[in-house]
Amino acid sequence: MTTTTVTEAPAPEVRYSSELVAQFRGDGYWRDESLTQWVKHWADRKPDAVVVTDGDASLSWAELRDQSARFAKALKGLGVVAGDRVQVQLPNWAEFTVVYAGIARIGAVLVPTMPIYRSDEVRYVFQHSAAKVSVVPTTYKGFDHAGMVGALRDEVETLTGIVTVRGRAEGALCFEDVITGPVPSDDELGPVPSADAPHAIMYTSGTESRPKGCTHTFNTMSFTMYGLGQDILGYGPDSVVFMPSPVTHATGLAMGVASPIVAGSAIHLMPAWEAKDGLRRIQEFGCTHTMTATPFVRMALDALTPEDDLSKLEVWASAGAPIPASLLTEFQSALSTTVLLPVYGSSEGLLATACRLDDPADKVLTSDGRPNPGVVMELRAEDGSVVRAGQAGEGEICFGGPGLMLGYWNDPDKTRAAIDEQGLLSTGDVGRFDEDGFMRVTGRIKDIIIRGGTNISAREVEDNLLAHDRVAAVAVVPVPDERLGEIGCAFVVPKGEPPTLEELCTFLRDDRKIAIQKLPEMLRIVDSLPMTATGKVQKFVLKTQLATS
């Protein structure tokens, strides 16, 4: 059993001066609201209207309000109090909205975890966040989530409760049992939490082999909910938001669940993306808005037929990777009634730049938008100088503002390394400004692979591959892929008989128990890896070899 020392993340008054906090509030970027008040607001005004569907289940606003209150009471019965972490590893099911709203009601902290993650990743999240309760599907896509978490409970001393959704499991509370019965009163549930309290910890993977927990308050998240969801994309009470991106990821949580709830929009969740079925769902449920990773756009266009009617879809926002100009042009030709808008951000800061509906067409084609009002952004050259708008050259993208996380959970050293004294986050991405202040992401410093809009740490995959008894050395590099954006290629120096790609993937999946999407999809067997004089692998040499082979 592992003991975790929790140092948490800084409070707003530690991250920012009192003057800046007052400015955030005065400018309307921090509104001091709560998810709970919006659930109640819309439940009072349109109780019978459907708020969420997933193709199998649906909920009205009144059902969301009442079931989330009952779930909140069940969490209190498991000993959860304000500030405790609740890990949630659910697919895009309607029940997620109930779980999320229930956690928020009592001031616990949501720790969303991708359903594809397995024992290795989930154990780390449990231990690092010191999660008290885990909410999982009993099984999903043939995998025994309840069994996995049950086996991990003995290893994590803080984990005292398990809740299963859509099924029962030994030693776990059944979600369906606790969302019925009398609705608890506000006195039973206690006060609604402050908008400055930790609200969600979003784990993201960058250059390190282990992910970092981006700690957001409702105030930091609501900056994006309003700035992107309502001001740019136009979410409103008559909108239907289609969300195929995982709700346990930053995009899905902020733009697929939280922002629609605040705006009073209906939500259609798609449990697993498949392009043809996604197009069908957009039509069937009358979806008006969506936001996905860029590869989803490519897949949707490839699946589109003349019979598909997406005329109700007004805006499709795309993030995770720049949209190629050719893809934008093709999209505009195929879906003339839908606007495709580029968005740039991160789990640490959510919204940074975006194109707007009234931006010139050439800017939408050639940029990732301008910094949203409230966002402070600088491009910093290697020598530390600032690259200005219209100035030749590129620089590392650094940004901050009211949407920036308070810090990395339980990691003050990495927080200090990532956020400078000006409150700007060093993203590791490289970009350039044009003369009008529109920014284009041109590359990245970080050693990651962006597969389907999800960041995969190359080092994490390398560390796991090195545990194979026939791998002496390894380097994993990204390879451009038309469908997914990028995939991973492993350059392996063998130890004895060279392993096959199938053998390595079986080892990673079954022995190391890492997520399937992290598995390399190409393999190159080499005698040695190109090194610098200081012993660092020259990955640019490997990328060049791939490009010319």
pLDDT tens-digit profile of 123-138? 999 999 999 999 999 9
Say whether both 383 and 454 belong to one domain. no
pLDDT at 312 over 60: yes
The pLDDT of residue 534: 46
Say whether both 401 and 481 belong to one domain. no
The pLDDT of residue 379: 97
* Chain segment 22-71, per-residue pLDDT in tens: 999 999 999 999 999 999 999 999 999 999 999 999 999 999 999 999 99
3-class DSSP state for residue 161? strand
pLDDT at 2 over 60: no
Phi-psi region of 535 (alpha: psi -120 to 50; beta: other; left: phi over 0): left
Weakest-pLDDT range from 3-12, 48-57, 158-167, 319-328: 3-12
pLDDT at 419 over 70: yes
Side chain identity at residue 97, one-letter code: T
Cβ(103)–Cβ(69) under 8 Å?
no
Mean pLDDT in residue range 251-260: 97
- Distance between CA atoms of 355 and 315, rounded to whole angstroms? 12
- DSSP string for 58-80: EEEHHHHHHHHHHHHHHHHHTT-
CB atoms within 10 A of CB 363: 19
Residue located via tokens 């009234």: 358
Identify the DSSP state of 18.
H
Mean pLDDT in residue range 300-321: 94
* Chain segment 365-414, per-residue pLDDT in tens: 999 999 999 999 999 998 889 999 888 888 999 999 999 999 999 999 99
- Burial (CB count <10 Å: 0-12, 13-18, 19+), residue 287: buried
Say whether both 385 and 500 belong to one domain. no
- Distance between CA atoms of 132 and 143, rounded to whole angstroms? 23
pLDDT at 435 over 70: yes
Say whether both 243 and 354 belong to one domain. yes
Cβ(427)–Cβ(470) under 8 Å?
no
3-class DSSP state for residue 474? strand
For residue 238, tell me if it sits in a domain. Answer: yes
Cβ(433)–Cβ(391) under 8 Å?
yes
Say whether both 424 and 460 belong to one domain. no
Say whether both 56 and 182 belong to one domain. yes
Say whether both 417 and 472 belong to one domain. no
Mean pLDDT in residue range 81-106: 98
Cβ(102)–Cβ(184) under 8 Å?
no
Residue located via tokens 């059902």: 63
Say whether both 331 and 470 belong to one domain. no
pLDDT at 515 over 80: yes
Cβ(450)–Cβ(428) under 8 Å?
no
For residue 129, tell me if it sits in a domain. Answer: yes
Q: Please list, residue by residue across 499-525, b when 16 or more beta carbons sit within 10 angstroms of its beta carbon and e when fewer do.
A: bebeebbebbeeebbbbebbbbbebbe
Task: Kindly give the interhelix angle for 294-303 and 275-284, rounded to the nearest 10 degrees.
Answer: 80
The pLDDT of residue 167: 98
Cβ(377)–Cβ(397) under 8 Å?
yes
The pLDDT of residue 272: 92
The pLDDT of residue 209: 59
Polymer length of the chain: 549
Side chain identity at residue 471, one-letter code: V
The pLDDT of residue 457: 82
Say whether both 392 and 305 belong to one domain. yes
Weakest-pLDDT range from 292-296, 465-469, 523-527: 292-296
Cβ(256)–Cβ(247) under 8 Å?
yes
Q: How far is CA 368 from CA 143, 347, 364, 484, in A?
A: 38, 17, 7, 19
Residue 443's contacts (CB-CB under 8 Å, 6 or more residues apart) are 394, 429, 430
Range of the domain at 326: 12-433
- Distance between CA atoms of 34 and 193, rounded to whole angstroms? 8
Tokens for 28, please give them. 């309307």
Cβ(477)–Cβ(462) under 8 Å?
no
CB atoms within 10 A of CB 197: 17
* Chain segment 196-220, per-residue pLDDT in tens: 999 999 998 544 458 899 999 999 9
| Phi, then psi, of 92 in degrees rounded to 5 | -75, 75
Q: What is the CATH number of the domain that holds 219?
A: 3.40.50.12780
The pLDDT of residue 549: 79
- The confidence band for 535, taking pLDDT boundaries of 50, 70 and 90, is low
Residue 274's contacts (CB-CB under 8 Å, 6 or more residues apart) are none
Say whether both 473 and 428 belong to one domain. no
State percent of the chain over pLDDT 90: 82
Quote the number of domains for the chain: 2
Say whether both 416 and 524 belong to one domain. no
Q: How far is CA 301 from CA 257, 276, 306, 310, 469, in A?
A: 25, 10, 11, 12, 43
Say whether both 452 and 428 belong to one domain. no
3-class SS string, 302-351: HHCCCCCCCCCCCEEEEECCCCCHHHHHHHHHHCCCCEEEEEEEECCCEE
Kindly report the average pLDDT of the chain as a whole number.
93
- Distance between CA atoms of 73 and 496, rounded to whole angstroms? 58
The pLDDT of residue 73: 98
**CA atoms within 13 A of residue 123's CA, in its CB half-sphere:** 15
| Residue with more model confidence, 32 or 14 | 32
pTM: 0.87
Q: What is the CATH number of the domain that holds 505?
A: 3.30.300.30
Strands 173-174 and 161-165: parallel
